[in-house]
Chain A
Amino acid sequence: MEKRVVFRSAWLPYALLAPQLAITVVFFFWPAGQAVWYSFQLQDAFGLHSEFVWFENFTALFADPHYLESFKTTAVFSVAVAGLGISISLLLATMADRVVRGALVYKTILIWPYAVAAAVAGVLWAFLFAPSIGIVTYVLKGFGVDWNWIIKGDQAMLLIIIASVWKQISYNFLFFLAGLQSIPKSLIEAAAIDGAGPARRFWTIVLPLLSPTAFFLLVVNIVYAFFDTFGVIDATTMGGPAQATQILVYKVYHDGIKSADIGGSSAQSVILMIIVIALTAAQFKYIERKVQY
C-alpha cells in the first residue's frame, strides 16, 4: 500500500520522525543491544569485572534444572490461562449475543475486569483465597478442602491461573462478541429454516466463522500469560512456594534484580525475545492472510 500523492521535502520527514526515533533508540535499541551483549558475559556480583564467555551463560541455563522447570511451569500456566480464558469467554459471548433483555447490564459487568491492573487482580483473589481469613477458603473448608496456597505449589498455581483468567475474560469476550455480531444473520436464518437447531448451527456455522478471531486471541492470550501476568504473580505468590509458580519472565526479574546475576538474566531475556519474535511472526502471518480476504 503506497500513497499516490506525496509531498516533497529534503528535511521535513526526518524532523517528523526524529522524536519517535530518538525514544526508540535510547529506550529500546540501546537496552536490547545491551541485553544481547551482557548475555555473552560473566560478571562478578558487584559488576566490577566482566569477562566475555561466548555461549557459556546459555549452556549454563539449559543445564540448570530450575530453568527447565520454569519452562515447564510457563507451559502449563500459559496453556491453562489461554485455554480457560478463551473457552469461558466464548461461552459467555455466545450467550450474550443471544439475549436482548439485560444485555447492557451483563456486558458492563463482564468488561469491568479489563480496567483492573494485573497486580490488583492478584491481590483481590489472594484476599478471597487467603489461607486463614479468605472467604472462599472458609467455604472450601466447609467442603473439607484444605486450602493453603502459601505452602502448596499446585494450589498457588491454581490461584494465579484463576486471577489471570478472570482479568483476561473481558478482553476475549469483547473480541468474540464483535466477531459474533459480524456474522450475517441471513446465514443463521437460512440454517434454521433448513432445520438446524442452535447447537448444530453453532458447530457448523458460528464456530468456523469465529476461528480467525479465536486464533488471534490464542496468540494474544499466550503473550499475555507470558508477560502481562507478572503483576499477578509478584503481588501474590512471588514465584513460590519453592518456585512452583516461577514463570520465565518472573525468573528474569528474580535472577536479574534479586540475585544480581546480570549475565544469566540477560541470556534469559534473549531467549524470551526469540520466543516473542516467533509468536509475533505467527500473528503477522495471520494478519496478512486476513488482509488478502
Chain B
Amino acid sequence: MVEKRPLLDFVTHAVLIVGAFVIAFPLYVTFVASTLSLDEIMSVPMPLLPGSHFVENYSQVLFAGSTGGSRAAVLDMLFNSMVMALAVPLGKISISILSSFAIVYFRFPLRNFLFWTIFVTLMLPVEVRIIPTFKVMADLGLLNTYAGLTLPLIASATATFLFRQFFMTIPDELAEAARIDGAGPMRFFWDVVVPLSKTTMAALFVIQFIYGWNQYLWPLLITSDESMYTVVIGIKRMITGGDAANEWNLIMATAVLAMLPPAAVVLLMQKWFVKGLVETEK
C-alpha cells in the first residue's frame, strides 16, 4: 500500500466482508440444512444454526439414497464421480503429452494439418454437439459405461496446447546433448521431457480433476442406469417436483458431499490450481 488512508481501509474491508458473506452464505445454509430434519426445514423460516440430524442424514444418503426421486446410494455415485474426475485428467495428460512431443520434436509430412486437426477441438465444447455425439455413443454401445462417460471429454486440445507451449521453452541444448550422447527420441522423452513437465502436469491435473468431477450435461445424457450416476446427476435426480415436495435435508447433504472433493483439491493445492488456471487459459 502506498499511503495510509484509514477511511479507505475501512471501505476495503467492508466490501470484502460483504463479498465473502454473499459467497459463503449459500454454502453455510447448505451445510445447516444438511444437519436438520425435513420438518425443521419446512418450518418457515428454517433455523440458521446446525441441527442434530447430521449423522442420520449423511448415513441415509451415503448408503441408502433418497426415498423420493433417485434411490441410488450416494457412495456409489461418489465412486463414479471419482472415476470420471481421475480418468479425464489422466487420459488427457497422457495422450496429449505424447502428441505434443511428436508435434514439437519431429518434422514429418502432414504435421501442420494434424496439429490443426487436434487444435480445432478447442473451439467446440461438448454442449454444441450433444445429439450427434450421443448417437455415436449409442452406435458404439458405450451408453452407461465408464468409457462412454470419459472418452468424449478426453477429446480436447487444451492440454495438448499447454504442453506444446511448455516444450517450446525447453532449451534446444538439451535435445542436442541427448542426440550427441546417442539417446533416441523416446529415451529423451522419458529422461528429460517428462521430468521437466511435472509442474505443468500437476497444474493440469488439478484443473481437469474439477472439470471431470463437475461434468453435468454429458453424464446426464449417457447414464440412464442409476448405478452409473455421478453425484452431480444424483442431486438433480433427487429433485422431483415443487419445492415443498423435495427431501431438502437429503439433497443438501448430497450437495455437501458433492462439493467437498473438488473444494479440497482447490484449497489444498491452491498454488497449483492458480498456476494451472492462469496458464491453461493463456
**Nearest CB on B from A132, distance (A):** 5
Taking A1-B168, A133-B244, A133-B248 as contacts, is the C-beta distance between A100 and B1 under 8 angstroms? Answer: yes
Q: How many positions in chain B have a CB within 8 Å of any CB in the partner chain? A: 108
**Nearest CB on A from B152, distance (A):** 4
The reply to whether A23 and B154 contact each other, CB–CB distance below 8 Å, is: yes
Taking A115-B263, A117-B214, A276-B128 as contacts, is the C-beta distance between A5 and B179 under 8 angstroms? Answer: yes
Q: Which of A60-68, A73-81, A249-257 participates in binding chain B?
A: A249-257
**In the bound complex, CA of A26 to CA of B95 (Å):** 15
Q: Which of B72-80, B129-137, B196-204 participates in binding chain A?
A: B129-137
Interface centre among B26, B111, B172 (most CB of A within 10 A): B26
**Nearest CB on A from B127, distance (A):** 4
The reply to whether A12 and B26 contact each other, CB–CB distance below 8 Å, is: no
Interface centre among A34, A124, A127, A198 (most CB of B within 10 A): A127
Q: Which of B99, B214, B232, B273 is close to A19, meaning CB atoms less than 8 Å apart?
A: B99
The reply to whether A252 and B124 contact each other, CB–CB distance below 8 Å, is: no
**In the bound complex, CA of A115 to CA of B111 (Å):** 37
The reply to whether B210 and A114 contact each other, CB–CB distance below 8 Å, is: yes
In the complex, whether B63 has a CB less than 8 A from a CB of chain A is no
**Nearest CB on B from A257, distance (A):** 7
Please name all residues of chain B whose beta carbon is closer than 8 Å to the beta carbon of A50 when the two chains form the complex. none
Please name all residues of chain A whose beta carbon is closer than 8 Å to the beta carbon of B105 when the two chains form the complex. 3, 6-7
In the complex, whether A27 has a CB less than 8 A from a CB of chain B is yes
**Nearest CB on B from A160, distance (A):** 14
Interface centre among B3, B25, B129, B210 (most CB of A within 10 A): B129
**Nearest CB on B from A38, distance (A):** 7
Chain A contact residues (Cβ within 8 angstroms of B): what range? Answer: 35 or more
Taking A109-B23, A110-B19, A117-B232 as contacts, is the C-beta distance between A13 and B108 under 8 angstroms? Answer: yes
The proximity string for A residues 207-220 relative to B, scoring 1 for CB distances below 8 Å and 0 otherwise, is: 00000000010001
In the complex, whether B125 has a CB less than 8 A from a CB of chain A is yes
Taking A7-B106, A280-B122, A287-B282 as contacts, is the C-beta distance between A19 and B267 under 8 angstroms? Answer: no
The reply to whether B266 and A13 contact each other, CB–CB distance below 8 Å, is: no
The reply to whether B172 and A3 contact each other, CB–CB distance below 8 Å, is: yes
**Nearest CB on B from A107, distance (A):** 8
**In the bound complex, CA of A123 to CA of B233 (Å):** 12
The reply to whether B130 and A17 contact each other, CB–CB distance below 8 Å, is: no
Q: Which residue of A lies closest to B148 (CB)?
A: A27
Q: Which residue of B lies closest to A100 (CB)?
A: B1
The reply to whether B232 and A108 contact each other, CB–CB distance below 8 Å, is: no
The reply to whether A24 and B118 contact each other, CB–CB distance below 8 Å, is: yes
B71-124 contacts to A (CB < 8 Å): 94-96, 98-99, 101-108, 111, 114, 117-118, 121-124
**Nearest CB on B from A139, distance (A):** 8
Please name all residues of chain A whose beta carbon is closer than 8 Å to the beta carbon of B281 when the two chains form the complex. 175, 216, 220
Taking A5-B179, A99-B16, A115-B265 as contacts, is the C-beta distance between A32 and B132 under 8 angstroms? Answer: yes
In the complex, whether A169 has a CB less than 8 A from a CB of chain B is yes
Cross-chain pairs A/B with CB under 8 angstroms, 23 sampled: A7-B188, A9-B106, A17-B98, A20-B96, A24-B121, A31-B132, A95-B16, A109-B24, A111-B270, A120-B255, A120-B259, A123-B235, A126-B243, A127-B243, A127-B248, A127-B251, A135-B45, A138-B45, A192-B3, A220-B281, A235-B239, A253-B130, A273-B124
Q: Which residues of B contact A (CB under 8 A)?
A: 1-3, 5, 8-9, 12-13, 15-16, 19-20, 22-27, 29-30, 33, 41-42, 44-46, 48, 94-96, 98-99, 101-108, 111, 114, 117-118, 121-125, 127-136, 140, 151-152, 154-155, 160, 168, 172, 175-176, 179, 184-186, 188, 210, 213-217, 220-221, 232-233, 235-236, 239, 242-244, 248, 251-252, 255, 258-259, 262-263, 265-267, 270, 273-274, 277-278, 281-282
